[in-house]
Amino acid sequence: MVVRTDTPATRAALVAEAAGILLNGGVVVLPTDTVYGLAAHPGHPEAVARLSTIKGRAEEKPLALLASREEALAALGGTLSPAARRLAARFWPGALTLVVDCAGRTEGVRIPDHALARAIIAACGGLLRVTSANRAGEPPALTAEAALRDVGADADLVIDGGPVSGGTASTVVRDAPGGWRILREGAIPASAIKAAVAERASTAPRGSLPSDGARPLLLFVCSGNTCRSPMAEALMRARLPPACRWKIGSAGTLAGDGLPASLLAQQAMAEQGLSLAAHRSRPVTPDLVREAGLVVVMGRHHFERIIACSPAARDKVFLLGRFSPREAGLEIDDPAGGPLADYRQCRDEINACLPGLTAFLDVLA
């Protein structure tokens, strides 16, 4: 068991460490907006089972999912009713758990109002199983010290994010075809839930990053900078709102200067209404890596090459597949030399990772 303290200077490295442990089947204690939580990746059933063992609770009792963004719900096969969408618009991120039908099963889903927690969840693909970091029947832990005393010794990592300000469990609302109902009144009172359902849905855009004039660079990197990274650059630029303060770019570890995007990459993107006609390749340089606030690579060999040239950048280089809701740690294969179908598959795999990456930007911006 390791204890780490969250600070602005160490946050990116801490997110990477926590995500690495979770993606490899470990268990992490982390702060949320309500209480300290005990987390495991849903893709590792043995790790999820450890949560119940550590807490001393029955394994058949359901464990909620914490999400980094609302799009993660779609990956589960879940949809929200109009009433639930109004609740999500009003209370997410926050202390609302929505219990929804997801492809033949029922899941409780919440988006925490805690930047560090959302960043870790995003780095793990957008979803984590999380339960309160205390023994069954005991009060919830509001500090890392309390969590460590109760359950932390059995976890692989304990993150000290300071005292949490919540202290009250989330309100749980069941969203079903027959209507909604409150299963547990918690941090959000029943009166506020009823009022939000009665309101018209907000039309304000969600997911905009704060704008303070800074323009950190989000740099996508592949090999030749003619297929994968320019597709990622275009898809991400189209996804982010106009008010986003990140600038988006791409480069290649083996790229030459001034080459256009491959014709099949251009065709695959044109099918999405996006053009790569103006793209010209460029190589990754130490200066470009130094400028970047975040470097997102397609394969592990790209990570290794960048770190070999710029060792100080290790904490800001991430594999794009870390943000995949389908397969955490996925490498995006190079479609070069293949048919159009390979480029389409590459495009779609990249696109599936971008909601999680977008949530991660909220913390690093």
Contacts (Cβ under 8 Å, ≥6 apart) of 277: 260, 261, 266
**Which of 161, 121, 118 lies closest to 23, judged by CA?**
121
pLDDT digits (tens, 9 = 90+) for 19-40: 999 999 999 999 999 999 999 9
Binned at pLDDT 50, 70 and 90, residue 327 comes out as: low
User: Quick check: 341 pLDDT over 80?
Assistant: yes
Question: 289 is written with which tokens?
Answer: 């890596």
Q: Taking each helix axis as running N to C, give the angle between helix 340-364 and helix 115-123, from 0 to 180 degrees, rounded to the nearest 10.
A: 160
The gap between the terminal CA atoms of the chain, to the nearest Å, is: 30
**Alpha-carbon dihedral of residues 305, 292, 356, 86, nearest 10 degrees?**
180
- Using one digit for the tens of pLDDT, what is the confidence trace for 157-203? 999 999 998 778 899 999 887 789 999 999 999 999 998 888 653 43
For 248-301, how does the pLDDT look when each residue is reduced to its tens digit (9 = 90+)? 999 999 999 999 999 999 999 998 888 898 899 999 999 999 989 899 999 999
Contact at 8 Å (CB) between 41 and 328? yes
Mean pLDDT of the chain: 87
Look at residue 103 in the predicted model and tell me its pLDDT.
80
Q: For each of the domains in the chain, give its residue range(s) and CATH number, in order of start.
A: 2-198 (3.90.870.10), 217-364 (3.40.50.2300)
Instruction: Tell me the C-alpha distance between 5 and 17, whole Å.
Output: 12
Rounded CA separation 189/51 (Å): 29
For residue 248 the two structure tokens come to 């988006």
pLDDT grade, residue 128 (50/70/90)? very high
Query: For residues 75 and 127, what is the distance between their CA atoms, to the nearest angstrom?
Result: 10
Taking the C-alpha atoms of residue 266 and residue 275, their distance in angstroms, rounded to an integer, is 7
Q: Answer whether residue 219 shows pLDDT above 50.
A: yes
What pLDDT is attached to residue 1? 72
For the cut 50, the answer to whether the pLDDT of residue 113 exceeds it is: yes
| Predicted pLDDT at 233 | 95
- For residue 139, give every residue at least 6 positions away whose Cβ sits within 8 Å of its Cβ, in sequence order, or none: none
Q: Which residues of 170-191 are buried (b: 16+ CB within 10 A; e: fewer)?
A: bbbbbbeeeebeeeebbbbeee
| Helix, strand or coil, per DSSP, at residue 208 | coil
Burial class (CB within 10 angstroms; exposed 0-12, middle 13-18, buried 19+) of 61: exposed
- What pLDDT is attached to residue 210? 36
pLDDT at residue number 36: 95
| Distance (Å, whole) CA 110 – CA 93 | 8
Contact residues for 234 (Cβ-Cβ < 8 A; gap 6+): 269, 274, 275, 276, 279
Residue position matching structure tokens 């913390």: 363
Tell me the torsion sign for CA atoms 39, 43, 47, 50.
Answer: positive
* pLDDT given at position 52: 92
- Given a contact cutoff of 8 angstroms between Cβ atoms, the answer to whether 295 and 289 are in contact is yes
Distances (CA, A) of 279 to 20, 250, 266: 33, 10, 10
Token pair of 284, please? 């990754």
